[in-house]
Structure 1
Amino acid sequence: MNYLPIFANLKSRRVLVVGGGEIALRKVILLLRAGAIITVIAHKICLKLLYLFKKNIIKWLKTEFKEEHLEQVFLVIAATNNKILNKNVFIASNKRCILVNTVDDPSKCSFIFPSIIDRSPIVIGISSGGSAPVLSRLIRERIESLLPMKLGMVANIAQKWREQVKNFFLFSSERRFFWERLFNGAFVGQILSGNIKNAISILNKEIRFPNVSTGEIILVGAGPGDSGLLTLRGLQVIQQADYVLYDALVSKEILGLVRRDANCINVGKCSGGKGMLQRDINNLLISLAKKGKKVVRLKGGDPFIFGRGGEELKNLKRYDISFQVVPGVTAAIGAAAYAGIPLTHRTCSQGVIFITGDNADNNLNKINWCHLAISAITVVIYMFKVNVNKIYKKLIFYGFLKKTPVALIGQATTLNQKILIGTVENIPYLALRINNPSILIIGKVVNLHKKLKWFKSINLLDKIKYKNVIEK
């Protein structure tokens, strides 16, 4: 170990920064976050440092560096482009046993700045000992994506309760087990979702009934397929889950991001296929939560857009089970973006409406098709294939022009994405040439596809040749 990682308390301690450029500024900003009292020595300073000086946030000595400037200084930063001056600062600081950092010169550093992940009071430092700072930064970015921004709030609340927990659990082993159980349960999730009152209630319950585990259900939208469209919060959650109950539309790439030792259960079904009944899914969620498990209910797209998310949560509410929701990129948004079709556009669409082609509960007859036909809005139909002929007849009967542009998009945002461009009169034929999951986009915005297409799929060269229909 070339460097011992330590965390220094700089609050109200004097730090000397030699140099007044952009590099010095970056160090000053970091030191200010740690509460240091900063003096800058330089003949000239950059505009942002000058602003901090005029606001009395830092001190500025417009002079040459001298050894006496090190009196009562806790740390020193040499941040000039003058190698001789930097060396003199390093030697003088070493003579007084003051820790010094010379920017971009590890050989003249008695301490170095790590790449920092700040979730105060949780702070993580990553260092390569000055050998590969870019690698340290990349590692920091990877870890940063896994840690929620409100993680520090979890630590702050835990700190306030430490004494009470200590008084309740006499043995350190009991306290350790308590905190491990608390941090792995619904307590953290409630804080991260802003439900501080619920979190405190869970904490109290864990203290009073330490042998009764509290489970949690987290409803997560996986997006339309591309694993890069999974939200940062969604990634954090699926890597903490004990169980993941996923639908058939969730891609293998996203399932590959789930924590290795989590139990993954396929509870979904494709249209017309076999799968777990909704009541059985509900019962399984309740059963796992009552066992104290952290369960992710993973759905394709967004769980609140034709995903039955509301139905499942209403059932959990009846059993007083903690839950939270992580939204996802819904299929229409992802498919349209990857097809180069803006769903709204000032010249041809003043809005967009999402409807489902599923005719359960006679849904298709509840839609005001006449209003859709005369409105200057884009219409997006989910799950249209199963009832494509009924949908086509309604479009024609209620006034959609046969030459209205349409796009049918299958397996959107993946390398297997397929886009068929045509008109309303071609919909039944086009539907035979597209695979599920698929959506139908109707409106003038489809004409922008030719100019705005950007995503290259393996179906790009698969052409269909027939009148008024183009496959892209």
Structure 2
Amino acid sequence: MDAMQPPRNDEPARMEPLAKLPVFWALEGRRVVVAGATDGAMWKAELLAACGACVDVYAEACDETFEAFLDRTPEHPAASIALNRRRWAPADLDGAALAIGDCEDEAEARAFVAAARAVGVPVNVIDKPEFCEFQFGSIVNRSPVIVAISTDGAAPILAQTIRRKIETLLPKSLKVWAALAQSLRDAVNRRLEPGPRRRVFWERFADRVFSTMDTPEEGVGGVLLADAERLAGAPAIGRVTLVGAGPGDAELLTLKAVRALQAADVILFDDLVSADVLELARREAKRMLVGKRGGRESCRQDDINAMMVKLAKAGKRVVRLKSGDPMVFGRAGEEITHLDRENIPVDVVPGITAASAMASRLGLSLTHRDHAQSLRLVTGHSRHGGLPDDVDWAGVADRRSTTVFYMGGRTAGLIAEKLVGEGLPPETPVVIMSDVSRPTERSWRGTLATIPEGITAIGYDNPVLIAVGDALAARQVSAGSIDTSSIDSSRPLAACAG
């Protein structure tokens, strides 16, 4: 297999379906028609004028509030608002950039839409979604930073609530910082070619913006341009970040992991990484599936190592995205050693390992003080597929410990035999889970003696965790509902081997 051409058949879609395309439309100096003089029409006219549009309002009459609105001078220097004291006519829409109508009935709405479409003008009829070719969303205004929220008309109050949430997250000073970015853009572009260096500059800029609630201090523009000069002369060396994707639920990602995904040029991701996690990555990032999973075509570890080195030496910022935690059965040690040998900068962003996700889903402490004084994470198979030869099974068979076996689906029966043979009672509680934290999650509760039944119920196709220990019964005992029979459940959760 070519090291730069891994299998891609299972790669998730880069964009989930959208109800509407969010578009930001330049209206400065362009003519827009508003038919009607209601409160809704006034708000639309004010919004359009704020964008610099030349708004032509058509209405036979308007109230005092609308008259007062017309008397105000628009804030935008290119904007104007003119009232035409008559009903709109089809010819009025000719040459308009947009047409907004506040129509009294469906017949007028149909006529307005037909007239707009006849001359190719996008049209919106206020409060009549079926006649709208575009919609207005809730807005967070930090212009030139503008955030628009739409629920496709399903829940306007929800959109307003989202807007209030975002308002609290974005400092008022963002407006001034964004204006500074606008003023620096051409100078930065002259100093830095498109690519990693330019993106590093703007990432540092963004970090500075959100590290303070204050507006930019005097002279900061010169400091930033000096930073661009230094970046222009720096060697083009990339770096690799090993990122833990967690068990599958995207909401379990750390903030640092999300930032790494959004800064990546290339993402080398495992077969078990969920589509929801990949959805958080930078759209422009190249995504390469390098999954390794039993019974499927996969990249060799040597090929993955070579890919990371080649991409980093080309100046790329590489994210090696691993399910679970990179440092728990994720072969991170081999990759770090190889990158160190090639003098490639490497750092690690931890993720939630599957055992932790399993405990949270069960609502159980794996180190409950009354049952377990230690926690062991043990691989359930060797590189040859059977039980590992170098596991201290006598030590693992400790009633004062909770043990979680990773990737032990096909060796579950052998694991039970080993533990019972080393003195662990056959009635020791066991939980088997697959696809922890994903919608396809399944779980079974039983004992060491009934493990063969449990693994038959759960199956081998998806990643399996086997937890063994008295701590697993703590919650059921206290609730008086411990059950050592097979229990099959399909609850929303996800799984992975790390």
TM-score exceeds 0.5: yes
1:284-327 deviation digits (Å, cap 9, x = unpaired): 11111111111111000000000011211111111111121110
1:446 correspondence with 2:477 = no
User: In the alignment, residue 293 of structure 1 is paired with which amino acid?
Assistant: K
Match of 1:182 in 2: 197
TM-score (norm 2): 0.54
Match of 1:346 in 2: 369
Q: Equivalents in 2 of 1:136, 1:237: separation in Å?
A: 26
Question: How far has the Cα of 1:379 moved from its partner?
Answer: 0.6
1:471 correspondence with 2:451 = no
User: In the alignment, residue 454 of structure 2 is paired with which amino acid?
Assistant: L
User: In the alignment, residue 239 of structure 1 is paired with which amino acid?
Assistant: Q
Q: Equivalents in 2 of 1:259, 1:368: separation in Å?
A: 44
Question: How far has the Cα of 1:177 moved from its partner?
Answer: 1.1
1:186-215 deviation digits (Å, cap 9, x = unpaired): 9979xx9xxxxxxxxx99985545xx5221
Match of 2:417 in 1: 393
Give the 3 Å change call, closer, same or farther, for CA 401–135 of structure 1 in structure 2: closer
Gaps of 5+ in 2: 1-45, 51-139, 150-158, 178-185, 208-226, 490-498
Match of 1:380 in 2: 404
Stretch of structure 1 that moved more, 268-277 or 179-188: 179-188
Question: How far has the Cα of 1:181 moved from its partner?
Answer: 4.4
- Of all paired residues, the percent bearing the same amino acid is 33
Give the 3 Å change call, closer, same or farther, for CA 141–388 of structure 1 in structure 2: farther
Match of 1:138 in 2: 165
Q: Equivalents in 2 of 1:308, 1:143: separation in Å?
A: 39
Question: How far has the Cα of 1:433 moved from its partner?
Answer: 1.9
Give the 3 Å change call, closer, same or farther, for CA 448–136 of structure 1 in structure 2: same
Aligned partner of 2:304 among 259, 281, 296: 281
Question: How far has the Cα of 1:226 moved from its partner?
Answer: 0.9
Question: How far has the Cα of 1:419 moved from its partner?
Answer: 0.9
User: Matched residue of 1:365: which SS?
Assistant: coil
User: In the alignment, residue 425 of structure 2 is paired with which amino acid?
Assistant: L
Higher relative contact order (Cα pairs below 8 Å, separated by 6+ residues): 2
Aligned partner of 1:255 among 269, 278, 282: 278
Q: Equivalents in 2 of 1:186, 1:351: separation in Å?
A: 46
User: Matched residue of 1:431: which SS?
Assistant: helix
Contact 2:243 2:319 in 1 (8 A): yes
Gaps of 5+ in 1: 5-114, 118-123, 153-170, 193-201, 454-465
Contact 2:387 2:411 in 1 (8 A): no
1:95-244 counterparts in 2 under 5 A? 135-140=162-167, 172=187, 176-177=191-192, 181-182=196-197, 184-185=199-200, 206-208=231-233, 212-244=235-267
1:47-89 deviation digits (Å, cap 9, x = unpaired): xxxxxxxxxxxxxxxxxxxxxxxxxxxxxxxxxxxxxxxxxxx
User: Matched residue of 2:389: which SS?
Assistant: helix
TM-score (norm 1): 0.57
User: Matched residue of 2:348: which SS?
Assistant: strand
Match of 2:57 in 1: none
Give the 3 Å change call, closer, same or farther, for CA 225–374 of structure 1 in structure 2: same
Give the 3 Å change call, closer, same or farther, for CA 315–242 of structure 1 in structure 2: same
Q: Equivalents in 1 of 2:387, 2:464: separation in Å?
A: 19
User: Matched residue of 1:366: which SS?
Assistant: coil
CA RMSD of aligned residues (A): 4.0
1:429 correspondence with 2:440 = no
1:255-294 deviation digits (Å, cap 9, x = unpaired): 1222222211110121232200000001111111111111
Q: Equivalents in 1 of 2:286, 2:438: separation in Å?
A: 25
Give the 3 Å change call, closer, same or farther, for CA 469–322 of structure 1 in structure 2: same
Question: How far has the Cα of 1:135 moved from its partner?
Answer: 4.7
Q: Equivalents in 2 of 1:143, 1:324: separation in Å?
A: 29
Contact 2:445 2:484 in 1 (8 A): no
Q: Equivalents in 1 of 2:305, 2:466: separation in Å?
A: 30
